[in-house]
Structure 1
Amino acid sequence: MPSPPTFLAWAILSCLLGAFLFFHLWKFDRFKCLRWENGPHSGAFKRVMTYTYLLSVPLIIIYSVGFCVLSYDVGYADIPGIGVVPIPFEFWLPKYHRAIFPLNIVFSFSWGLEMVTHLEELCFWLFLVNAGKVQQDWFRTFYFKIWAVGSILAFAYMPIVTIVTRSNADTNTAATFTAGSIGDLTLTVCFMPVLFQFPGFLRNLKSEGVDINTIVRLTTFHELNRIRVVFRFLFFAPLLILGVDGLTARAVVNSSLFASEFLAFMAGIGCMVSSGITLVIFFPRSVQSEVQARNASREKSQQMRTFQSTQHSEYNSSYSPRSLSPQKSSAPPYSSHPGGENLVISIEDSAMIKAPVLAPGDPVTGSHPAATTFKTFAPNRRLDSGAKIHGGVKIVGLTEGNLAHHNHQSSNVHPFVHNFTSPIGTFVGLASFRADLMPIAA
C-alpha cells in the first residue's frame, strides 16, 4: 500500500542524488560533458551513454516527488479492525488516481535507462577483462552487439509492461516493480564473474608493467563496483519482493505496514547510492590533477602580474619627470643573439617562457595529467624576417598518454587499458595517443 513516509524518503534521497550530480559535474569539467559537441571525441556512443544516465536521475526525482505530494494530499484513513493506515490506491479521488499511471511510466523509463547503463558496463568490463594485445575495435565486438540489442529490449519492455497493466493501479505498480527487478537481477548476477576475475586481471597488468596510474584507476573502479553491487541488491531485491507479493491474491507483505515501508526504504537507499557510484565511475574526477592545474594556473597568473608590474616600473623610470620626451633606458627593448640578429621578445612570449609547461588536457576528464619531463634537442631556425632562433636542449613534458603509448607497444594487454579513464571514455585511447605525440613530433 502507498505510504507517505516511504515516498518522502525516496523524494529526499533522489533530490540529494540530483544535488550530488550537479556538484560532481560542476567540479568535473564545469558541465562541459553535457554539451552535444564535447571535444573531438564526443561520438554517438559517448553521447548516448552520457544522456542515458543523466536523464534517468531527473526522472526518478519526478517519480518520487510526485508520489510524495500525492500520498500526503490523500493522507490516512481509520479502517475499523485495522487502524489508521495510508489510503489504498483504489480509494484515491479521481484527480489523484489519474496521476498514478503517468508517474509509473516515468519510473519505468527511468529504470529502463538505468538498465541500459548497467548493461553497457557489464559488456564493457567483460570486454576489458578478456581483451588481449590484439587491438580489437569495441564497436565491432560481440559485447557491443549484445549491449545494442539488450539496450533496445530493456528500454522498450519496461514501459510496455507498465502500459499493458495500467487498468489496475495496484497491479500496475506491482508489475513495474517485478519487471524492473528481474532485469536488474539478471544484470547483477551476470556481473558477478567480472568481480571474481578482476583481481587476477590486475595482477596480470602489474606483471606486464602497466603504469601505476592506470593500476590505481582500475583498482579504484573495482572497489567501487564491489560496493555498488551490494547496493544494487538492496535496490531490486526489496522491490522484487513487493512486486511479486503485489501480484498475488493475498499480498501478505504489502498488507504489513512495517514490512512494506522497511523494504521500500531499503530499495530507495540502494537505488540512490548505486546511482551515485555510477556517476563517479562514468565521470571520474582526479583531485590531484585538479589541484596541480589550479596551482599552475595561479602561479602563471602571479608571474604574469609580476612581469607586467616590472615592465610598468621600467617604463615609468625611462621618462624624465620634467620632460615628456623618453630617455634612454638601461634595459634594451630587445635581446641580442650571438649571431648578430636581434629578435624582439613580446610580453606574452616572456610570460610563456617563465610559465610552467602544462600537459595537454585529458580528453575525458578535462583535467591536466601529471607530466614527466625529458630532454630533447631543437635545431637552429631562421625566420622569414631573417632573424635566427638558436636551438639547444629543451625540457619537454612527457604526458601520461605518451607514456601509455610507449608502454603498450611492448605489452600483452589491450591498448585501451593503458589509457583507461572510464567505461565511456576509453574508446578514444588510440586517437589520444596520436594527439599526445603531436607536440613532441613538432
Structure 2
Amino acid sequence: MSTGSPTAFLSWAILASLFLAFFVYHLWSYDKFQCLLWNAGRQPGAFKRVMTYSYFLSVPLLVVFGVGITILKFQEGFISMRDAEIIIPKPVDLWQKGHRHVLLGLYFVFSVAWASEQVTHFEELTFWLFLLDQGPEKREWFSSWEYRLWYCSCVCTILGMPLTTLVARHNMDTIDAWIFLVGSLSSTVTNVLFLYVLFRFPAFLRHVKAEGADPEVVVRLSTFYELNLVRMIFRFAASLPLLILAADGIRGNHPIDRSQFWSDFLLMISAIGQFISSSITLMIFFPRSVTKEAGYRHKAASTMTDSGPLHAHPTSPKSPGRPPSTHSPAFYIPSHPPTPARPMSAGSSEMEYSPSEEPVPGYHHIPVELERARKQDDAYSPAQALVREHRMTRREMATHGSTSRPVSISVAPRSHMRLASASTLHPYVTSYTSPIDLIEMPPDGTSPPSA
C-alpha cells in the first residue's frame, strides 16, 4: 500500500466523506439523532450503547484517515525510477520526518476504526447464530455462549488491531501490510461464517411465518435477508483486495506492489466495498419506516348500512346478564325504534340473538359467538378472521333490521390467542427491529413482552 497513488487514496477520502453525509442524513431521518442518546434502545444496560457508539466512532475516523493520507500523498508527490522510465509515488522512507509521524498516527486511527467496525460484524454474526439455534426454552442472549464469544472477539480485535500497528511501527514500509493482514483475515473469516447464517435464513423465515409472526416483523426479516445478500458481496470486496495487498507486501517478491495499476485497482475496489457495505449496515441497524415517516396512521374501518354508518363504542360495563369484555368493542346503529327479535334455528351457525340481554331500555344486545369462525380458526390468519367477523356482523345487521342495538364483536380469534401463548418464537424475533435493538427479556423467558 505504500506505493498506492494519491488518486487511489483520494477515492477513499471521497467515499468516506459521502458516507459520513449519508450517515448524518439517515440518522436525522430515522429519529433526529435520538438513537445516539445514552438511554436510547429497549434493552437496559450498556449493550446498545457499545454497539451504537462503536459503529458511530468508525465513521469519522475513516474520514480522518482517508483525507489525511490523501493530503500527505499529494504533498510528497512522485519520483522517477530506472533512469526516469517509471514514475512512482515517493516511498515512505523518503518522506519528511514530520510526515512520517503523521502517517503513523493515521495508521493508528485506521486500526481503531477497523476494530470498531469489526465489533458490529461480530455482534451480527453471533446474534443470528443465537437466534437460529433457539429451542422451546428461549435462552437469554446475555447468558448465552454466543454472547460470550462476541465479547471475547471484541476484546481481541480492540486490542489486536492497535497492537499490530504499535509492533510494526519501526518499519514504515510494511506497517500497512501487517495492519491489512490482521484486519482482512479477521473480516474474511467473519464473512465466511456469516454465509452459514444466510444459508439457514430462508428456513428460519419460513418457520417465523408458520408461527404467525406479525407481518411487519416478517417484512423486516425479509428485508434484512435481501440486504445481506448484497452486502456480503461488498464485504468480500472490501477484505479480499486488502488481503492480497498484505500478502504481497510481506513476502519477499512484490509483483502486485510494483504494479501501479494493480495496487491502485485493489485499493479502489476495497474502498468501494467498504463504504457500500457500511451504508447497508447502517440501514440494517437503524431501519427507517417510510409509512411512519409519511405520517400514515391506520384508521378503524367503518361499516355503512342503509340507515347510516356504524360507530365503534365500548360495551357498557353495566350490562346485566353478561360480563363486560375487555377486548370486544360494540357497534351501535342509530335511528329507528327497536323491533322484536326474530328467533334463530337451533342448528344455525350464525350469531345468536338473546332479547333478554338489554343494557339500556329500548336497546337489544346481540352477542357474537361466531361458531363457524371458531371451527375454521386455524385455516385463517388473525387479519382474515377479523375481516370475516365484520362481514358476518353486517349480514346479521341486515337480518334483524336497522335498529339501535349494540353488537359485541370478538376481535381476538382463538388462533391469535393461541399464537401469542404457544408460539415457539423467541421474543427477540417477535419484536425484531434491528440486531442491536433488543427488548428486556422476562424473568422466565416464556412470554414475549409487547414491543
TM-score range, shorter chain: 0.7 to 0.9
Write the mapping of 1:150-161 to structure 2, written as runs, cut at 5 A. Answer: 150-161=153-164
User: Superposition RMSD on alpha carbons, in Å?
Assistant: 2.8
SS of alignment partner, residue 100 of structure 1: helix
Which one has a larger percent helix, Structure 1 or Structure 2?
1
Residue aligned with 1:132, SS: coil
Give distance in 1, aligned partners of 2:237 and 2:116.
19
TM-score of the two chains, using structure 1 as the length reference: 0.73
Q: Does 1:171 align with 2:140?
A: no
The equivalent of 2:11 in structure 1 is 9
- Give the gaps of 5 or more residues in structure 2: 301-310, 319-327, 332-381, 383-411
Alignment equivalent of 1:219, drawn from 218, 222, 225: 222
For the residue of structure 2 that corresponds to 1:252, the secondary structure is: coil
Equivalent position SS for 1:255: coil
Structure 1 residue 145 displacement after superposition: 0.6
Q: SS state of the match for residue 78, structure 1? A: strand
Matched residue, 1:35? 37
| Deviation for aligned residue 1:192 | 1.1
Report the residue type matching 1:169 in the other structure. M
Contact conserved, 1:245 with 1:251, CA < 8 A, in 2? yes
**Cα separation, 2, equivalents of 1:267 and 1:16:** 16
Contact 2:431/2:450 (8 A) holds in 1: no
| The structure with more radius of gyration | 2
Which shows bigger deviation, 206-215 or 237-246? Answer: 206-215
> What amino acid does structure 1 have at the position aligned with 2:98?
K
Q: Deviation at 1:393? A: 5.1
**Deviation of the 1:132 alpha carbon:** 2.5
Deviations 1:294-331 (A, max 9, x none): 356xxxxxxxxxxxxxxxxxxxxxxxxxxxxxxxxxxx
Shift of 1:404: 9.2
Q: Tell me the alpha carbon deviations over residues 246-289 of structure 1, each in whole angstroms, 9 at most, x when there is no partner.
A: 11222110100000000000000010011111111111111112
Q: Distance in 2 between matches of 1:423 and 1:262?
A: 34
In structure 2, the CA distance between the partners of 1:74 and 1:127, relative to structure 1 (3 Å rule), is: same
Query: Residues 248, 22 of structure 1: CA spacing in aligned structure 2 closer, same or farther, 3 A cutoff?
Result: same
**Matching residue of 2:65:** 63
What do the CA deviations read for 1:124-156 (whole angstroms, capped 9, x no partner)? 011111112322111011100100111101111
1:97-246 to 2 correspondences below 5 Å: 97-246=100-249
Which stretch shifts more, 186-195 or 7-16? 186-195
Distance 1:115 1:39 in 2: 21
List runs of 5+ in structure 1 lacking aligned partners.
Answer: 297-354, 358-372, 381-391, 437-442
Is the 1:378–1:393 Cα contact (8 Å) retained in structure 2?
A: no
For residues 378 and 41 of structure 1, what CA distance do their matches in structure 2 show? Answer: 39
374 and 202 in structure 1: CA distance in 2 versus 1, 3 angstrom threshold? farther
Structure 1 pair 49–266 and aligned structure 2 pair: CA distance change class (3 A): same
Residue number among 264, 269, 272 corresponding to 1:266 in the alignment: 269
Matched, 1:416 2:428: yes
Q: Distance in 2 between matches of 1:84 and 1:74?
A: 13
Hey, what's the Cα distance between the residues in 2 that align with 1:67 and 1:219?
A: 40
Contact 2:188 2:239 in 1 (8 A): yes
Give the whole-Å Cα distance in 2 for the aligned partners of 1:195 and 1:126: 10
Partner SS, residue 166 of structure 1: helix
Structure 2 counterpart of 1:31, which letter?
F
Q: Partner amino acid for 2:434?
A: S
Aligned twin of 1:361: none
Partners of 1:8 and 1:267 lie apart in 2 by: 13
Post-superposition CA distance 1:15-62 (Å, at most 9, x none):
011011000000000000111122664531000000011101111111
Q: Secondary structure at the match of 2:80?
A: strand
Q: In the superposition, relative to structure 1, how do residues 280 and 3 fare at CA in structure 2: closer, same or farther (>3 Å)?
A: same
Write the letter of the residue equivalent to 1:71. K
Change (3 A) 1:209 1:169: same
Structure 1 residues 257 and 27, CA gap change in structure 2 (3 angstroms): same
Q: Does the 8 A contact of 1:211 with 1:404 survive in 2?
A: no
Equivalent pair of 1:2/1:89 in contact (CA under 8 Å) = no
| Maintained 8 Å contact 1:415/1:430 | no
CA contact (8 A) 2:115 2:161 kept: yes
The 8 Å contact of residues 4 and 260 in structure 2, kept in 1 or not, is answered as: no
The answer on 1:249 being equivalent to 2:261 is no
User: Matches of 1:102 and 1:404 in 2, distance apart?
Assistant: 59
Percent sequence identity over aligned pairs = 40
Alignment partners' CA distance in 1, 2:72 and 2:49: 35
Within 2, Cα distance between the matches of 1:161 and 1:204?
44
Residue 408 of structure 1 and its aligned partner are, at CA, apart by 3.7
